[in-house]
Amino acid sequence: MAEIKVLVLVGSLRAASVNRQLAEVAIENAPDGVELRVFDRLGEVPFYNEDIDTVDAPEPAVALRAAAVEADAALFVTPEYNATIPAVLKNAIDWLSRPYGSGALQGKPAAVIGAAHGRYGGVWAHDETRKSLGVAGPRVVEDVKLSIPGTGLDGKHPRESAEVVADVRAAVATLVAAVEEVSAGVA
Domains of the chain: total: 1
Q: Which range marks the domain in which residue 76 is found?
A: 4-186
CA–CA distance, 104 with 96 (Å, rounded to integer): 5
Q: Residue 115 belongs to a domain with what CATH number?
A: 3.40.50.360
* Cis? peptide before 99, omega within 30° of 0: yes
Each residue's pLDDT expressed in tens, for the chain with a length of 187 residues: 469 999 999 999 999 999 999 999 999 999 999 999 999 999 999 999 999 998 899 999 999 999 999 999 999 999 999 999 999 999 999 999 999 889 999 999 999 999 998 888 899 999 999 999 999 999 999 999 999 997 778 889 999 999 999 999 999 999 999 999 988 887 6
Residue 57 is classified by DSSP as -
Query: What is the predicted pLDDT for the residue at 143?
Result: 95
The predicted pLDDT at position 10 comes to 98
Rounded to whole angstroms, the Cα distance separating 103 from 111 reads 17
Give the pLDDT of residue 154. 85
Query: What is the reported pLDDT for 28?
Result: 97
Q: How far is residue 2's CA from residue 35's CA, in Å, rounded to a whole number?
A: 11
Burial class for 48, CB neighbours closer than 10 Å (0-12, 13-18, 19+): middle
Query: What's the pLDDT at 119?
Result: 81
Rounded Cα–Cα distance for residues 120 and 148 (Å)? 7
pTM of the model: 0.96
